[in-house]
Amino acid sequence: MLELRDIDVFYGEVQALRGVSLDVAEGRIVTLIGANGAGKSTTLRTISGLLRPKRGTIRFDGKELNGTEPHDITQAGLIHVPEGRMLLESMTVRENLLAGAFCRRDKDGIQSDLVAVEERFPILEERKSQKASTLSGGERQMLAIGRALMARPRLLMLDEPSLGLAPKLVEQMFESVSALKAEGTTILLVEQNAYGALAVADYAYVLRVGEIVVQEDAKSLLANKSFLDAYLGEA
């Protein structure tokens, strides 16, 4: 569904991505893991059209995205939940959810999806009249994912969804990611929590200083002791 081929991205004179290539098959969870500053968020921002690659091609469902505006990429069904959630802080929880459906015109479908999102995350229905700025970290992450689901993603890109969450909430977040896959959502998951990401993913890419250095079946990578020793620092 998503193909990146030999992507180079620069911030001014500094090269952030170097020859990055990856594939995301329909109905799968693919994770991109790496240390802080490895270029994971840059990769997602490039796919979303927020950054322009200097070289290489990006294709979504066979159509080249190079030069496509971000709102057109969103309308194609490629939805990005950025690191830090990026909520509309002064708006209510309900208004944030409806903002996710801004490009849609099917009122009945929007209402149906709103009910489904609030059933998935009941706390969002309870907090529907509160401003987003009043939510806890876990609630904010639920709202960010719920807003993305309101756009009916064909491919959902999650950037560090476990960041800043308590351990119990991290477990619940990964359970939610698995549930979305079971319902047919294709996911590109960026995470520093390599254990959690590899446990739910089908395939994994390891990014280091802007380059893909390892790509492998996620469960095989999780069971690879030499990789865990080198990458995660485990004894």
Structural domain including 77 reads: 2-87+154-232
Residue 127 belongs to a domain? no
Mean of per-residue pLDDT scores for the chain:
91
Tell me: pLDDT of 21 over 90: yes
Tell me: pLDDT of 233 over 60: no
Tell me: pLDDT of 166 over 90: no
Residue 190 belongs to a domain? yes
Provide the CATH number for the domain around residue 7. 3.40.50.300
Burial 159-172 (b: 16+ CB within 10 A, else e): bbbbbebeeebbeb
SS3 at position 136? coil
103: confidence class by pLDDT, cuts 50, 70, 90: confident
Give the C-alpha distances (Å, rounded to integers) separating 84 from 96, 111, 193: 15, 27, 15
Please say whether the beta carbons of 118 and 128 come within 8 A: yes
Backbone angles phi, psi at 100, to 5 degrees: -65, -20
pTM: 0.91
Report the C-alpha gap between 149 and 113 in whole angstroms. 8
List strand residue ranges (DSSP E) for 110-229, in order.
Answer: 155-159, 186-191, 203-208, 211-217
What is the per-residue pLDDT for 234?
44
What is the per-residue pLDDT for 145?
92
231: confidence class by pLDDT, cuts 50, 70, 90: low
Report the C-alpha gap between 82 and 113 in whole angstroms. 21
Q: Which residue has the tokens 């790509």?
A: 215
Tell me: pLDDT of 24 over 70: yes
Residue 202 belongs to a domain? yes
What is the per-residue pLDDT for 225?
75
Report the C-alpha gap between 88 and 7 in whole angstroms. 31
pLDDT tens, position by position, 176-206: 999 999 999 999 999 888 889 999 999 999 9
HSE-CB of 130 using CA atoms within 13 angstroms: 13
pLDDT tens, position by position, 43-66: 999 999 999 999 999 999 999 999
Of 48, 73, 18, the closest CA to residue 190 belongs to: 48
What is the per-residue pLDDT for 84?
73
Residue 94 belongs to a domain? no
What is the per-residue pLDDT for 232?
58
For residues 120-147, average pLDDT: 92
Please say whether the beta carbons of 184 and 27 come within 8 A: yes
Please say whether the beta carbons of 89 and 105 come within 8 A: no
35: confidence class by pLDDT, cuts 50, 70, 90: confident
Residues in a beta bridge with 203: 30, 217
Report the C-alpha gap between 27 and 8 in whole angstroms. 27
Residue 218 belongs to a domain? yes
Please say whether the beta carbons of 156 and 148 come within 8 A: yes
pLDDT tens, position by position, 106-123: 989 999 999 999 999 999
Q: Which residue has the tokens 């070289």?
A: 55
Tell me: pLDDT of 67 over 80: yes
What is the per-residue pLDDT for 235?
34
Residue 98 belongs to a domain? no
Q: What percent of the chain has pLDDT over 90?
A: 74
Residue 100 belongs to a domain? no
Residue 77 belongs to a domain? yes
What is the per-residue pLDDT for 2?
98
Q: How many domains does the chain have?
A: 1
Q: Which residue has the tokens 């709102």?
A: 71
